Structure 1
Amino acid sequence: MARLGHPVAQAAVPSVSRFADGPPYRFEIPSVEGPEVLEAVVAEADRLNVPVARTSQGSGVMMLTDAEITQMARIGAERGIEVNLFLGPRAAWDTGGQAKLTQAVAAAARGNTMVAACVADALRACSLGIRSLLVGDLGVLDVLRRLKEDGTLPAGLVLKTSVLMPLTNAPTAAVYERLGATTVNVGTDLTVPHLAEVRAATRLPIDLYLEVPDDQGGFVRFYEAVEIIRAAAPVYLKMGLRNAPNIYPSGGHLGVIPKDLGRERVRRAALVQRLIEQLDPELKRPDGGPAADLGVPVI
């Protein structure tokens, strides 16, 4: 394009921040709903040589048995992968009506009883070795921060904010950090300049869907990957799937669908990895090994 007189402009000042082990980006595979899906994801990552650093789950701790959580923790610990579990319940599954009309409050905790249930999920998950939790409510985030500070929850526990908690500007990112977030999901439609603004306001890793589920916009942003990394580093590239069923809450009734979706998310990550290496070979590739800032399970 430059040779033809139409150069592509750089959209933002590059971030100099990096993850603890050096790379500017990592891959996250979401919707890893149980141990069988996690096993399928790590096997596919091995087959395609994709350095998966984190998996996340959306159905919630309350939808997993102790044995399932323990097995997921064991796999994560053996592989040096962060295993992130969602806290529940949530407004979208409750008896209220507002969450049926808008996703803006879908993950909110309705009433103190629901906040207490999220805390119960957190305590149970941590007791079984999990060290990374997905939070969908601002008040719950602050409560968990206080429980980390007083020693009730592990000091190194990762608190990841959900994409269902709106984060579309720099001041909001700063608020989330003050309330205890350790990694933040941002709006799926933020431009590269928007991401640069968020990066300037917080030291936390940014989590961004590079392929976005249909109910969150359905964008496929593969060719933006390099510019996103440059502007937002350190950034988790989340590989959702467009044109895929919503599987929450997951379970055996869905058969092989969650495993097939997990494998395809890894394949999408492999496609993105190839693009990154072609478009900017100097970007440090994650090695996929354990790092000090990952919430790897403890067994």
Structure 2
Amino acid sequence: MSDTSSPLPAPPGPRRPGERALTALGLAAPADDPADSSPHTFPDGGTWRTEIPSVEGPEALAVVLEESARLDVPVHRVSQGSGVWMLSDAEITEMAGACAARDIELCLFTGPRGTWDTGGSTRSSSGGAGLRARGHDAFAGCVEDALRATELGVRCLLVADEGVLWTLHRLRERGPLPADTTFKVSALIGPVNPASFAVYEQLGADSVNVPSDLTLTHLTEIRRLSGAPLDLYVEAPDDLGGYVRMYEAAELIRRAAPLYLKFGLSGAPGIYPYGAHLRDAALDTARERVRRGRLVLDLLARHGADGGMSPLGSRLPGPLTRFSANPKD
């Protein structure tokens, strides 16, 4: 016998995965608590932007730009993980020009950093000091990278050390770095509680990568203390846990706005520090990261939750809370 029952009416607004079918079975999820929604937005009024990470050079960038056009994936930012020091002036200039022509923010990592220097503690079971800059020379190298990159047109720098972040912020305040330079905190030192997140904001961070295993409640707690843009891998690389949170994308936006959705890739080979010997892997994974982004955007659209994206070309974070950059204060 055919089922002649009338279809369930669609509830207004975004829907949750499987919502209508589960409601019919009496298995509906609890209603959203309005208190969990982030009250913050980007200065353009948007709640989310997109980022393609691990774009390691001009060739990988060209693949991302081509694939994003083919799949109609809007891109606000691309970031690189190997470091400014692993790129030539010509490569940086080419990447900066290609991104500027398409109104995409280019973010390059400052280095050297602990995982690649002579220190052995990062390879111990405790992980030692992680990516932080060990000693004055490594610290100075990060500053040198920042000065060189901005001279070549880069306006976003990825940082993995609190002292480097504070120093670059002071240089931005005093003039050696352009005033519109933005600083992004690496996921590898990302804060895991509201107080530490707020400290990074006050040290000069314009967006803060948090580990991808933070719960929705953790994100709400952060948003009750800070409105600084938050970066989160919707799919994390294996060395960051390999988490795949595509079905949570709408809820991540609701709880964590303003939010950069990062389209990472699990099950992929490591490519840091990048060189020509890793070319095929870098290009293949760049292409697949864009496709993963398309899957997330399609999912948001199916759930009626694809509104609120910042206009393409948006990059600045808006007013943020800072410690005084004047040591006399």
With normalisation by structure 1, the TM-score equals 0.94
Work out the CA distance in 1 between the residues paired with 2:93 and 2:173.
25
Q: Give the aligned residue type for 1:146.
A: R
In the alignment of these two chains, the number of paired residues is 294
Q: Deviations over 1:34-68 (max 9, x none)?
A: 01111110110000011111011000000000000
Work out the CA distance in 1 between the residues paired with 2:112 and 2:279.
23
Which residue number corresponds to residue 66 of structure 2? 43
Shift of 1:97: 1.1
Return closer, same or farther for 1:31/1:199 CA change in 2, 3 Å cut-off: same
Shift of 1:188: 1.3
Q: Which residue, out of 45, 49, 52, partners 1:29?
A: 52
Work out the CA distance in 2 between the residues paired with 1:144 and 1:231.
30
- DSSP-derived class of the 2:260 partner: strand
Shift of 1:103: 4.6
Query: Which has the higher Rg, Structure 1 or Structure 2?
Result: 2
- Matches for 1:195-274 after TM superposition, within 5 Å: 195-274=219-298
With normalisation by structure 2, the TM-score equals 0.86
Q: Deviations over 1:253-279 (max 9, x none)?
A: 112221110110000000000111111
Work out the CA distance in 2 between the residues paired with 1:54 and 1:104.
31
Q: Give the aligned residue type for 1:197.
A: E
Work out the CA distance in 2 between the residues paired with 1:104 and 1:202.
28
Whether the 8 Å CA contact 2:190–2:208 is kept in 1: the answer is no
Shift of 1:285: 3.8
Instruction: For structure 1, list consecutive stretches of 5 or more residues without a partner in the other structure.
Output: 295-299
- Tell which deviates more after alignment, 81-90 or 8-17: 8-17
- Matches for 1:108-123 after TM superposition, within 5 Å: 108-123=132-147
% identity of equivalent residues: 51
Which residue number corresponds to residue 23 of structure 2? 2
Which residue number corresponds to residue 297 of structure 1? none
Whether the 8 Å CA contact 1:61–1:88 is kept in 2: the answer is yes
- Matches for 1:1-299 after TM superposition, within 5 Å: 1-9=22-30, 10=32, 13-101=36-124, 102-103=126-127, 105-281=129-305, 283-287=307-311, 289-291=312-314, 293=316
Shift of 1:282: 6.0
Work out the CA distance in 1 between the residues paired with 2:120 and 2:295.
40
Q: Deviations over 1:160-201 (max 9, x none)?
A: 000111310100011001111110001110011101111222
Work out the CA distance in 2 between the residues paired with 1:67 and 1:192.
42
Work out the CA distance in 2 between the residues paired with 1:292 and 1:212.
23
Shift of 1:105: 2.7
Shift of 1:16: 3.1
Whether the 8 Å CA contact 1:161–1:181 is kept in 2: the answer is yes
Work out the CA distance in 2 between the residues paired with 1:124 and 1:282.
38
Shift of 1:142: 0.8
